[in-house]
Copies of this chain bind each other. A is one copy, B any other.
Amino acid sequence: MGTPLPVSPLALPLPDMPPIPGVRLATAQAGIRYKGRTDLLLAELAEGTQVAGVFTRNQCPGAPVTYCREALSGGQARGLLVNAGNANVFNGIAGARAVEETSAAAARVLGTTADRIFPASTGVIGEPLPAHKIVAALDGLAADLAEGRFAEAARAIMTTDTFPKGATRTARLGGKLVTINGIAKGSGMIAPDMATMLAFIFTDAAIPAPALQAMLAKGVDDTFNCITIDSDTSTSDTVLLFATGQAGNTPTAEPGMLADFRRALHEMLHDLAMMVVRDGEGAQKLVQITVEGAVSHASARRIGLAIANSPLVKTAIAGEDANWGRIVMAVGKAGEPADRDRLGVAMGGVWMAQAGGIVPGYDETPVVQHMKGREIEIMVDIGLGEGRAVIWTCDLTHGYIDINGAYRS
């Protein structure tokens, strides 16, 4: 991690995130790996805070993921402790001990038990976590806790991110207006089929943990699980949703009552997921791939991911080449039902190929113009059924090679 990376051309500004009653934050420079920046976040959550979480499906998860899965069974949270720079993955029994040690220390400064602390770590894999640096920073963090501070929190959890990521929403719930804030980090080792990278969402709503969990799982499936940067599934991916219950609404788990909250949560997860793609390592273009006419939604998703993960499609987009032949190849390699003689491909709203061949009189001019933009739209019509999915990715550029050929140096 030598010179800082240039900010992604697809970056979005951080919104103003209001304080969430029941959430107090503090950040510190613990010197875990990075110098001259914050790398540690402590969140104190009000007594009675309900929690939901989804985690990586990688078979070699980090020690903090294992710890969080266990803690989640209680449904309650009093603290969140996140460090950047070291993922504490593949450190064997020492890794598990480091999580226990830091979580116990966080519980101590927050006056709670370790099973209500949720730890998360992100950064390099396979290097021992310097737990003592985290423990040493905790007293100062506890003394510094304050409401607000979401922007600082978003910055403290970054690794190869080039911009901080946050979103805010409000929703009507049980006669009250509740607020939801979310922060996220991630720009490489991003692939779907999991809760991608780290995202932490805070709300003052009163919603019991099982209902929170159901909404989070569904929301992540349609947002974070539909993005891919490089097809590589991180060992540390964690999305946690904390509900402090301070808004004063009547606690409810009734789906109809939760409709507006669900909408707001889904919008926020979508926003955060898009920010992660926009900060894809080396990304110059944001790509939206819509697959229609597949035999099922699951089939459409797999086809969309095959396109989004194809290095040939991604490099063509980087080269501003409307190379629909590579999209056809990627559809075919997905292993899903497809018939080349029914297939259609559009870019920027212009159908280039339909019914298995180039559209007669196809004029490439508007497509060439579209490919020069920052946001690329690809639509594929499989022509077999009603299955539909939308997948988001970024292009594959020299920047990705630069960043990942020298990550540890």
Name A's B-contacting residues (CB within 8 A): 57-61, 87, 89-95, 124-127, 188-189, 191, 230-235, 309-312, 315-316, 318-319, 321, 323-326, 328-341, 343, 353, 355-358, 396-398, 400-401, 404-409
Can you list 29 A-B contacts (CB < 8 A)?
A58-B333, A59-B332, A59-B336, A59-B337, A59-B338, A59-B340, A60-B343, A87-B325, A90-B325, A90-B343, A90-B353, A90-B356, A90-B357, A91-B357, A92-B357, A124-B325, A125-B328, A125-B329, A127-B325, A189-B329, A191-B333, A230-B312, A231-B310, A231-B311, A232-B310, A232-B329, A311-B396, A315-B405, A319-B409
A89 partner residues in chain B, CB cutoff 8 A: 325, 328-329
Q: Is the CB of A328 within 8 A of B126?
A: yes
A326 partner residues in chain B, CB cutoff 8 A: 125, 232
With A232-B311, A318-B405 known, 19 other A-B pairs at CB within 8 A are A59-B336, A59-B338, A89-B328, A91-B358, A125-B326, A126-B328, A188-B312, A230-B312, A231-B309, A232-B312, A232-B326, A232-B329, A233-B332, A312-B404, A316-B404, A316-B405, A316-B407, A318-B401, A397-B401
Instruction: Name A's interface SS.
Output: loop
Q: Is the CB of B400 within 8 A of A90?
A: no
From B235, B332, B400, give the contact of A329 (CB < 8 A).
Answer: B235
From B126, B330, B334, give the contact of A358 (CB < 8 A).
Answer: B126
The smallest C-beta distance from A33 to any residue of chain B, in angstroms, reads 13
A127 partner residues in chain B, CB cutoff 8 A: 325
The answer for the CA separation of A325 and B91 in the assembled complex, in Å, is: 10
A124 partner residues in chain B, CB cutoff 8 A: 325
Q: Is the CB of A58 within 8 A of B235?
A: no
From B126, B331, B356, B396, give the contact of A324 (CB < 8 A).
Answer: B126
A188 partner residues in chain B, CB cutoff 8 A: 312
A191 partner residues in chain B, CB cutoff 8 A: 333
The answer for the CA separation of A197 and B59 in the assembled complex, in Å, is: 33
A234 partner residues in chain B, CB cutoff 8 A: 329
Chain B minimum-CB-distance residue to A314: B404
The answer for the CA separation of A401 and B282 in the assembled complex, in Å, is: 12
The smallest C-beta distance from A104 to any residue of chain B, in angstroms, reads 21
From B321, B324, B333, B335, give the contact of A409 (CB < 8 A).
Answer: B321
Q: Is the CB of B92 within 8 A of A355?
A: yes
A233 partner residues in chain B, CB cutoff 8 A: 329, 332-333
From B60, B91, B319, B325, give the contact of A338 (CB < 8 A).
Answer: B60
The answer for the CA separation of A326 and B326 in the assembled complex, in Å, is: 28
Chain B minimum-CB-distance residue to A128: B358
A357 partner residues in chain B, CB cutoff 8 A: 90-95
The answer for the CA separation of A400 and B90 in the assembled complex, in Å, is: 31
The answer for the CA separation of A348 and B335 in the assembled complex, in Å, is: 35
The answer for the CA separation of A191 and B189 in the assembled complex, in Å, is: 21
A189 partner residues in chain B, CB cutoff 8 A: 312, 329
From B232, B311, B339, give the contact of A400 (CB < 8 A).
Answer: B311
Q: Is the CB of B58 within 8 A of A329?
A: yes
Most buried by B among A125, A309, A333, A343: A333
Chain B minimum-CB-distance residue to A329: B235
The smallest C-beta distance from A380 to any residue of chain B, in angstroms, reads 11
